[in-house]
Amino acid sequence: LTALAASALPSPAARTLGAAAAAAWAAGTAEFALARIRPGPKTPDEILTMAVTSLFIPPLAVWHWLCGYLSSD
């Protein structure tokens, strides 16, 4: 989301950086989704489920890791 927000900034450098970050995130998400879809039965429902959950797993994993890191004094 930050990458998409940066791509909306007026500065050309910020837009370029935001677009590059968004492209890197999309590529990573696609790679993660494909790795999860490849071994499965590849039904339309399974592909949709794997694609949608692949969008949410990385940011939620980072959030939970950060919460645990910050709470462990």
C-alpha span between 46 and 20 (Å, rounded): 30
What's the pTM value of the predicted model, to 2 decimals?
Answer: 0.73
pLDDT score for 18 = 81
Percent of the chain at pLDDT > 70 equals 86
C-alpha span between 12 and 23 (Å, rounded): 16
CA 9 to chain centre: 21
In three-state form (DSSP H/G/I as H, E/B as E, the rest C), the secondary structure along the chain is: CHHHHHCCCCCHHHHHHHHHHHHHHHHHHHHHHHHHHCCCCCCHHHHHHHHHHHHHHHHHHHHHHHHHHHHCC
Could you read off the pLDDT of 14-42 as tens digits, one per residue? Answer: 778 888 888 999 999 999 999 999 999 99
Q: Pick the more confident residue, 15 or 73.
A: 15
